[in-house]
Amino acid sequence: MCGIVAAWGREAEHDARFLLEGVRHRGPDDSGSLAIGAVTLAMARLAVLDPTPGASQPMSEGGVHLVYNGEVYNFGSLRRHLEQAGWRFATTGDTEVVLKAVLHWGRSACQRLEGMFALVVHDEREGALWAARDRLGIKPLYWCRRPSGGLALASEASPLASCYGLGPDPAGVAEVLGFGSPIGTSAYLGVHEVEPGTVTDFGPDGPTRTRPFPAPADPGASLAQVFPSAVERHLVSDRPVALFLSGGFDSAAIASFAPSSSLTAITLAYAGNAGDVGRARETATACGLEHRVVEVAADDVPGWSRGFLAAMDQPTVDGFNTYLVSGVAAEAGFPVALSGLGGDEVLGGYGYARRWRQLTLVARAWPFLPPGARHALASRLAARYRRSPSQVTAMLSARDQPGRHAAWRSVFEPEEVLDLTGVSLDGGAPWQVDPAAPARSQLRQLDLQAYLRPVLLRDTDVFSMAHGIEVRVPFLDQGVVGAAASGPATKASLAREWGDPYLVALARRPKLTFALPWDQWMAPVLAETRDLLAGPDPWRGLVDPAPARSLALGGSPGRSPLRQWALVVLARWLERGPEGRRLRPCPVPARVP
């Protein structure tokens, strides 16, 4: 796992070294840079597989130079295939396998990589620079044009914005208020994502061609068959591995297929999650895992929040739990952790997925109800779904599944966002689905596109890597996602097929609502943010300060405290600026190709 950067153009080596300082926290074990003409590649390494100097990056052979971030879980089988083709290896990790796969297959090597990855290749033989990301976008990669000509790429957006003086994007700021994070755009003007599941060729002025790479053929195995092997692959590491253990089914399923000697489970305890902690203890006992429960006291939250806000790449209301538990893992000496992230999206495990049919039926009758009946019904459903009556009204008034999903996920409603920012939330690519697809398929696609990828995965990456922790997500293994898409499965049906009585019982129990106690935590956070929020323009002209200040300091009765948290996050992010994340310079050893 690494932070990678690349720069192309005049003074590329200078820019690459600047950018490297902005991602150095992602790789505390090693760093290196390589200048080849007008192109410079650099990386900061978290050594997980083959932590010897021989596996450091940039890695070069035959005029091809690579920087790579992630883990390719099928590197063993790829290595055997390449050895049969005559290639020889000097290291035992996956980076050299990726490099030789590129040498052997070219850009089509990417379709053979199974795992989470972002990579940049400079091929001197072609005079080419190209980049690729895994299909789900688990590992991030951003690019921008350089004011002096050429371009630059980096694992995080802030270093690019800091290096080239790029300001906030009003559309991204509006999406933070609307959905808690930028969903369809970057938070910085001029910073763009390399699209997941694609190979993108770059010229001096930007992308010249972007092509999706196909998924490998479906082996036909069921989800119950592929998941145990996915867990096994995700446990391969030359460093100690932890498990982020909640009281839910997803992390328990991982624990049940992991040898007890290979994992230490970590659970956070805080006000209001005693039920979650109790179930986590049961799971650890049932699976024979060493278990560490770490309490987060309300008095500690302001300090943690300062670290969270300083580590933030793009503004987000999510990821605080990942920041907390990753800090605990780092302090305990675990640079790698497994997470149940993705289980709900892959298996349709969110509570609203089971209630969607009811909402659809109510929505059909909604236009014909008198105003008084609508108000009463919205109030009852709001109490049931832990949403505001206006949110429920928006859901029931929506014309289609994307509109209903956007209303469910909203922090501030579109009219409020327009009033506060002057920017209209217009949906965009994350909300596009096949209208002819079954409702369940549409919902699953929306969860992946508009929540998992741009919020959960991005925030998990940023806030775990802030502590130098690699988080692996077995439920998003390529085989698991493919098997789940090819045939319906539920958590209960999986547990029955596995014949695991504990998992069967866990799947039958009511799903716990995972929510940090922001209603208790906001008071101390606001206390130390009050001076900033009381200033003349905490949001730097991007948010109307008078109503935003009133909402931030006074809250919205009956509404989620995440609304206040979103305004605090934006104010702190804008105050800090992208240069606030830059680390102190330190020497970078140069690599010789």
pLDDT, averaged per 10 consecutive residues of the chain (593 residues), comes to 92 95 92 95 94 93 97 96 97 97 97 96 95 96 95 97 95 96 94 96 93 81 92 95 94 92 90 91 94 91 91 95 94 95 81 69 89 92 84 90 89 95 86 86 87 95 95 95 80 91 90 79 91 93 96 84 95 86 39 39
Which residues lie across from 122 on neighbouring strands?
Answer: 65, 129
- Rounded CA-CA distance 588/13 in Å is 12
Return the ∠ at Cα 548 (arms to 545 and 550), rounded to 5°. Answer: 105
- pLDDT for the residue 369: 92
What was the pLDDT predicted at 514? 66
pLDDT score recorded for residue 130: 98
Nearest to 572, CA basis, from 308, 386, 354, 385: 308
The strand pair at 241-244 and 264-269 is best described as parallel
Contact 146, 9 (CB under 8 A): yes
> How far apart are alpha carbons 105 and 110 in whole angstroms?
9
Rounded CA separation 19/16 (Å): 5
Residue 85 backbone phi and psi in degrees, to 5 = -85, 0
**pLDDT value for 588:** 37
Per-residue pLDDT, 261: 78
The kind and range of the H/E element at 321 are helix 320-331
Return the beta strands (E) in 494-533 as ranges.
Answer: none
The separation between CA 180 and the C-alpha centre of its own chain, rounded to angstroms, equals 13
The owner of tokens 């932590």 is: 51
Q: Which two tokens stand for residue 294?
A: 């770490």
Is the separation of the CB atoms in 243 and 337 below 8 Å? yes
> Pseudo-torsion of CA 142, 148, 149, 152, nearest 10°?
-20
Q: Of 238, 232, 236, which is closest to residue 256 (Cα–Cα)?
A: 232
Chain centre distance of CA 174: 20
Tokens representing 145? 């044009």
Place of tokens 């969270």: 308
Q: Which tokens go with 589?
A: 């050893």
Q: How many other C-beta atoms can be found within 10 angstroms of the C-beta atom of residue 128?
A: 16
Give the tokens for residue 348: 């349709």
Q: Which pTM value belongs to this model?
A: 0.94
With beta carbons less than 8 A apart as the criterion, state whether 533 and 553 touch: yes
Q: What is the pLDDT of residue 467?
A: 93
DSSP string, 386-437: T--HHHHHHHHH-SSHHHHHHHHH-SS-HHHHHHHHS------GGG---TTS
CATH 3.60.20.10 domain position(s) in the chain: 2-214
Predicted pLDDT of residue 353:
60
CATH class of 2-214: alpha beta
- Upstream peptide bond of 58 is cis (omega within 30 degrees of 0): yes
Cα 281 to its chain centre, rounded Å, is 27
In the sheet that 336-338 helps form, which strands lie side by side, from edge to edge? 290-295, 264-269, 241-244, 336-338, 470-472
Residues 190 and 430: beta-carbon distance below 8 Å: no
